[in-house]
């Protein structure tokens, strides 16, 4: 069931959503159980920024109807820390913890997700990561406000295309643009990414959401999350994901990574039916760390059965 | 399922599972009617300290404080349970001949039971509860001295008052504590004043339990955060500036995202 994606040969079409699976922590917790049985065919890192970030103050989680609102705030060691401390461990895991395809396990390519608040920041991140042979591809998190305009880079097609044009030349590695669903016309943004030189797009990111702190059984006016607002994920957003992935896949010719509330092989199949080349699993991995492998097996069984 | 006043002891057959250490926890979800039902909650699994492990069974202490714990309380013998365990870092054994003092509050007494089993040697056990119905939970441990907020059982007041008396009597001790944030902060402050080592089992809302979501962090002394699921749930009190409760204290339906306080 191997699948080609931006020149990479993957064992199956299921990968993880950025920030939903910490491979280094998982290796600590599950140890050898991951060897040869890594749940994803490629591993997407959490978002890396130029400078280290501690993330948002707690509380960071809220259980929503059929979903989760998170306000984690992209904690990470920064570019230098990532390359020095995390990348060697991830590279070892990627060769060691091969993704199963029923038969031979193969190495798990690393996709590094980066975010910058300007074209200059993104360029530095893309250039530095692009030089690392451990990294197979880059994913750009463009759900970040532009420091000058305050607008999410990814929500404005013109800005997105301009940013892509300025970072495109910094690496020959595949560039995947993680689109924000919090845009007026996501398909237009996808098209702009393609025009700017993106090799693929991935969607959907979380939907902006908030929750109020409960007070004596009812809501108050104070936000629950330490970060004020967060992002909604899980089955609650699956129907939105299906619509946006369909709209984007109909508009662009580059491969699409579809995600949003996928819990089963059926959900993955639906995203692929509307045009996704790969499917990413996110929140479901919180409920079941083996979800990616379970869904990949389900896809395989449906194909052969 | 065994009733213990306001609590229930959920006994899970786990003959082949790895032996949990005291202080480690499990993520639990009912195999049926989880991720559906009214309001589509519960959706995420819930974290519970292992209360006891013996004869191929793991025990967990439940209190019905929200949709997840309510659903687990409804389980009947033979029902399926999804469990991911054992997770996290547990309690470390006493050193330098220090005597162990176990301090628990509410459903937070759970990990102290397995700790008492493993320590073997007689440990001082001090438990605090809100009222008489909850104080029946003290039967989970042996030889506990009890304090209640309303004075219906044992000492009328806080369990930390009992702890202060114990430390006055003999300070060559190590304190193991689990309970609501305010109690843990009281224990931390008392022990810090007297330079007595303390290990605190923390509660935090968790989505995953294995380091993936970064949702369960608490501030670390000197800046930054630690993940309760990965670096805890048992943390050395010296690692914390103070124990903050805002994350879980005010709403039972939320607090039960972690182990109920």
CATH of the domain at B7: 2.40.30.10
Q: How far is CA B22 from the centre of its chain?
A: 10
Is residue A258 within 8 A of residue A276, CB to CB? The reply is yes
* Whether residue B62 is found in the same domain as residue B178: no
Most confident listed range (B11-25, B31-45, B99-113): B99-113
Mean pLDDT, to the nearest integer, of B1-20?
A: 91
Say how many domains are in chain B: 2
Could you say which residues from 166 to 225 on chain A have a Cβ atom under 8 Å away from some Cβ of chain B? 213-215, 224
Residues from chain A contacting residue B248 (CB–CB below 8 Å): 59
CB atoms within 10 A of CB A172: 8
Q: How many angstroms separate the CA atoms of A296 and B92, rounded?
A: 40
In angstroms, the separation between the Cα of residue B128 and the nearest Cα of chain A is 24
Quickly state the pLDDT bin for A69 (edges 50, 70, 90): very high
Q: Helix A157-168 to helix A119-130 angle, to the nearest 10 degrees?
A: 40
Quickly state the pLDDT bin for A289 (edges 50, 70, 90): very high
**Is the interface score ipTM higher than 0.95?**
no
For residue B94, the cross-strand partners are none
* Whether residue B45 is found in the same domain as residue B80: yes
Residues from chain A contacting residue B214 (CB–CB below 8 Å): 19, 22, 55, 60, 72, 75
* Record: contact A236-B87, CB cut-off 8 A: no
Instruction: Using CA coordinates, name the residue in chain B closest to A66.
Output: B40
Quickly state the pLDDT bin for A147 (edges 50, 70, 90): low
- Asked if residue B94 belongs to a domain, the reply is no
- Asked if residue B261 belongs to a domain, the reply is no
| Class for the domain spanning A3-55+73-209+233-304 | alpha beta
Q: Does B86 touch chain A (CB under 8 A)?
A: no
Q: What pTM did the predictor assign?
A: 0.91
Is residue B105 within 8 A of residue B180, CB to CB? The reply is yes
Q: How many angstroms separate the CA atoms of B261 and B242, rounded?
A: 17
Predicted pLDDT at A220 = 67
Q: Which two tokens stand for residue B83?
A: 């469990």
Predicted pLDDT at B175 = 98
Mean pLDDT, to the nearest integer, of A256-279?
A: 98
A189 classed as catalytic: no
Could you say which residues from 7 to 36 on chain A have a Cβ atom under 8 Å away from some Cβ of chain B? 19-22, 25-26, 28-30
In angstroms, the separation between the Cα of residue A61 and the nearest Cα of chain B is 6
Tens digit of each residue's pLDDT (9 = 90 or more) over B132-158: 999 999 999 999 999 999 999 999 999
Q: How many angstroms separate the CA atoms of A94 and A204, rounded?
A: 25
* Record: contact B210-A289, CB cut-off 8 A: yes
* Whether residue B38 is found in the same domain as residue B142: no
Q: Which two tokens stand for residue A143?
A: 């759900």
- Domain endpoint, select from B26, B59, B87: B87
Predicted pLDDT at B178 = 96
Could you say which residues from 55 to 84 on chain A have a Cβ atom under 8 Å away from some Cβ of chain B? 55, 57-68, 70, 72, 75
- Asked if residue B93 belongs to a domain, the reply is no
Largest CA distance in chain A: 57
Nearest to B198 by CA among B97, B92, B119: B92
Cβ contacts below 8 Å, chain A against chain B, sum to 116
Which of A54-63, A89-98, A220-229, B88-97 is predicted with the least confidence, judged by mean pLDDT?
A89-98
Q: Which domain holds residue B68?
A: 2-87
């Amino acid at each position: 069931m191997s699948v080609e994606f931006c020149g990479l040969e993957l064992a199956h079409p299921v990968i993880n959503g950025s920030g939903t699976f910490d491979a280094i922590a998982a290796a600590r917790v599950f140890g050898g159980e991951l060897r040869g049985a890594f749940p994803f065919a490629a591993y997407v890192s959490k978002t890396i920024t130029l400078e280290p970030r501690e993330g948002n103050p707690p509380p960071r989680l809220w259980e929503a109807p059929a979903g989760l609102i998170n306000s984690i705030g992209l904690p990470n060691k920064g570019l230098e820390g990532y390359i020095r401390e995390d990348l060697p461990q991830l590279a070892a895991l990627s060769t060691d913890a091969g993704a199963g395809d029923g038969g031979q396990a193969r190495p798990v390519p690393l996709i590094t997700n980066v975010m910058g608040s300007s074209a200059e920041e993104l360029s530095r991140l893309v250039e530095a990561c692009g030089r690392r042979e451990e990294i197979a591809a880059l994913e750009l998190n463009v759900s970040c406000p532009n420091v000058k305009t305050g607008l999410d880079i990814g929500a404005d097609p013109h800005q997105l295309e301009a940013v892509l044009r300025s970072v495109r030349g910094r690496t020959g590695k595949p560039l995947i643009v993680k689109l924000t669903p919090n845009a007026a016309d996501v398909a237009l943004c996808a098209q702009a990414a393609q025009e700017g030189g993106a090799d693929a797009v991935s969607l959907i990111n979380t939907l902006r959401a908030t929750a109020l702190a409960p007070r004596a059984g009812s809501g108050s006016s104070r936000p629950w999350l330490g970060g004020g607002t967060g992002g909604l994920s899980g089955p609650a957003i699956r129907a939105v994901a299906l619509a946006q992935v369909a709209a984007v896949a109909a508009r662009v010719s580059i491969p699409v990574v579809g995600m949003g509330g996928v819990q089963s092989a059926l959900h993955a199949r639906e995203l692929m039916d509307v045009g996704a080349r790969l499917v990413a699993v996110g929140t479901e991995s919180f409920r079941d760390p083996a979800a990616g492998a379970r869904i990949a097996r389900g896809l395989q069984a449906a194909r052969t059965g | 399922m065994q009733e213990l006043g306001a609590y229930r002891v959920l006994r899970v057959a786990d003959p082949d599972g790895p032996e949990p250490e005291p202080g480690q926890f499990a993520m639990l979800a009912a195999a049926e009617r989880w991720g559906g039902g009214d309001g589509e909650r519960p959706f995420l699994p819930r974290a519970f300290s292992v209360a006891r492990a013996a004869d191929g069974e793991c025990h967990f202490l439940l209190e019905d404080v929200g949709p997840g714990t309510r659903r687990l309380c409804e389980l009947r013998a033979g029902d399926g349970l999804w469990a991911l365990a054992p997770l996290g870092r547990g309690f470390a054994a006493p050193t330098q001949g220090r005597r162990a003092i176990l301090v628990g509050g509410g459903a937070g007494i759970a990990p102290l039971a397995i700790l008492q089993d493993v320590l073997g040697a007689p440990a001082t056990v001090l438990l605090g509860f809100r009222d008489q119905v909850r104080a029946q939970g003290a039967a989970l441990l042996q030889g506990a001295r009890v304090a209640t907020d309303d004075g219906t059982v044992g000492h009328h007041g806080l369990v930390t008052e009992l702890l202060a008396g114990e430390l006055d009597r003999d300070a060559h001790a190590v304190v193991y504590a689990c309970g609501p944030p305010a109690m843990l902060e009281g224990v931390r402050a008392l022990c810090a004043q007297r330079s007595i080592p303390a290990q605190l089992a923390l509660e935090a809302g968790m989505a995953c339990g294995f380091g993936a979501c970064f949702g369960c962090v608490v501030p670390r002394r000197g800046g930054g955060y630690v993940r309760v699921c990965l670096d805890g749930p048992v943390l050395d009190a010296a690692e914390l500036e103070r124990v903050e409760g805002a994350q879980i204290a005010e709403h039972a339906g939320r607090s039960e995202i972690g182990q109920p306080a």
